[in-house]
Amino acid sequence: MRIGQLSQRTGTSQRLIRYYESAGLLSSTRLPNGYRDYEPSAEQTVRRIRALLAAGLPTRLIGQVLPCGQPDGPLLACPGVLSKLRTQLAELDRRAEELDQARETLRRAISATEEAGLPAPRPAERYADRPSSAAR
């Protein structure tokens, strides 16, 4: 499959797909006309890369995880990588806790404001106390 088709199927830009290839996370062969040609399994590989990036893993660590899984099978951590994945999971847990606290702070502020019966500002008044962009 060509890069445009892979891009469309995965919702990933062609530029990112080329980056994944340059980082060694994805491979292709070149057709006689110079176009990249990807195996059907590349679609699943790109989806896995995207998921691992969303989990906060750097590409160098993703490169250590991808070779141990089967294209259509479970994603397995290669030997020596498990501790790094556990560290990343702990970091995600920490960030999730911070987000939970921030969410609760916003809920309390909204609730307190509504209970106090304060009116919501009209759109024109919302930023009246801020200097205009021309004044900055």
* CA pair distance 65, 79, nearest whole angstrom: 9
Q: Which of 12-16, 79-83, 87-91 has the lowest mean pLDDT?
A: 79-83
**All residues at 6 or more sequence positions from 55 whose CB lies less than 8 Å from its CB, including other chains:** 88, 92
Largest CA distance in the chain: 71
| Residue ranges per structural domain of the chain | 3-115
Q: What percent of the chain has pLDDT over 70?
A: 84
CA–CA gap between residue 9 and residue 11 (Å, rounded): 6
Name the CATH architecture for the domain at 3-115. Answer: Orthogonal Bundle (1.10)
Kindly report the pTM of this predicted structure: 0.67
